[in-house]
A = this chain, B = another copy of it.
Amino acid sequence: MSGYRDLHVYVEELERHGKLIRISSEINKDTELMPLVRLQFRGLPEEERKAFLFENVTDSNGRRYAMPVLVGALAASRDIYCLGMQCEAGQLLEKWTQAQLHPIPPRLVEKGPVHEVVLQGDELLKEGQGLDRIPIPISTPGFDCAPYTTMSHWITRDPETGLRNLGNYRGHLKSSTRLGIFVIPTQDVGLHWQKCRQQGKPLQAALILGCPPHLSYTAVAKLPGLDELSVAGALAGEPVELVRCKTVDLEVPAWAEIVVEGNITTEYVEPEAPFGEFVGFIGERRFNPYFEVSCITHRRDAIYGAILSQFPPSESSKIRQMAYEPVLYKHLRHHANIDGVLDVAFHESGGAWHYIVIQLKKTNPSQPMQALNTAVGFDPTIGKIFVAVDETVDPRDPEAVNWALCYFMQPHRDMLVVQGRTGFLDHSGSPQGETDIFPFPSGNSALLIDATRKWPYPPISLPRKDLMEHAMKLWEREGLPPLRLKSPWHGYNLGKWSEELEEEAEMALRGDYFKTGEKLAQQRRRVE
């Protein structure tokens, strides 16, 4: 197997699978484009969501852009994500785990399509050149103060260790040669920036706008201690090809669409944002570094790609969900060694961030709480509600999880509140909102709930499997509408059932229930 060479090959694949909508009518990138794609996230079931390719993009001043805009291509749905990952949904956990365990380092090559067009120096300042060439849409029109880059992968290097990082951070478009960047101190780019600041020099950076999907998927994943480009290579099954940048000492994917090179100042900060955030609220303005462009390179036929984020579910929460689930799964299974863990579900309703369900077939009774404690310890910013469920409960179905909360746990016995949490983008901690990330004195909190079954229960109250299967044939015979069955769709034993009851149920199917009635009459007792 080999990965998609570039975004173009992948777009063809999306189209072949009926997952791409081409819009050839004129669309205003700042007022129309994102609202149109947004509708499918508020109004269609996930499996009907598509990627959109806008081929005729304009802005409010009537400008036309040569580049088309692609939205939703990475993760408008789980199906699309699987196309990008080149595997079935059931293989995702294992594919991610193997790629982390066996990374393939990138390979340096002499040249690549990303250098077909090179713009630097005064060229960047000409009308409609520089960042202005690129049709960057407004994500949350009516609230955002500017267009932001969103499929926006930054490569920086640790000035002490030389280790590279590839991370996805928004870029606030401020001029044709300047982007604001939200540098989070605890993330790699924040650490690199701090170290450069201490050394009194700017942080060199290359911004990748559009590239093969496996690179994007690793850019948004949490991969502590790993080189994202090497994990991306492992996902693709072959090394990522890199070329040297023109004006900074960094390498970038040879088959990227657009690369912006430059320096992130460490001397000054300026106000950045507001920008609609994935948690469901507009992110607040704060002082942040900015990036000064020294060079833009791109393919002649470059596609500009954007990720639809903001209120969940969104492309951003889907991509985060698909990337975080395998990372936490691997942590629980391989590092904490909890062999009962079957699945991890980051619910998109919480932005694939704060509502996390762990499914176990527990091999000892302490595993659910062990898994919950390990999960809450994984990252102080990720997760507010953690629920452990059994193998009989679908961890991705909020109604199934709520059913488990109702009937498999007691709040006074099976819950734990953990304080000392950091509230990234969480306004609920204090009236100061998202900037007060550790409200005095003990921070934010999380809730751990063990909603696994503690002892035998009677069977699930649905008809027996063979009878439901027979009913499906009748259903078809009667020409009734197509079914999408949810789990569970038949009854089964949960440990508390007897041979006698099974025999009586069998007799009832044969119409012999009055015999059981007679037997029960024999067992009559006088009321005390």
Contacts and interface: CB of A to CB of B under 8 A. Distances in A.
13 contacts: A31-B509, A48-B481, A61-B511, A138-B508, A142-B466, A143-B501, A145-B513, A174-B514, A174-B516, A281-B459, A284-B458, A349-B399, A411-B417
B472 A25 contact: no
B489 A525 contact: no
A406 B310 CA distance: 15
Counting every copy of the chain, the complex holds: 2
A34 B471 CA distance: 9
Contact of A409 (B32, B400, B428): B428
A440 to B, nearest CB: 13
A472 B42 CA distance: 12
Contacts of A458: 274, 281-284, 427, 433
Closest 4 CB pairs of A and B: A142-B464, A43-B483, A174-B517, A276-B461
A447 interface: yes
Interface size class of A (residues with CB under 8 A): 35 or more
A139 to B, nearest CB: 8
Identify which of A267, A409, A427, A484 gathers the most chain B CB atoms within 10 Å of its CB. A427
B407 A474 contact: no
A391 to B, nearest CB: 16
A247 interface: no
A467 interface: yes
Interface in A259-298: 266-272, 274, 276-285, 287
Contacts of A281: 407, 457-461, 494
Given A406-B384, A523-B270, A413 B445 contact: yes
Given A271-B523, A353-B406, A410-B444, A38 B276 contact: no
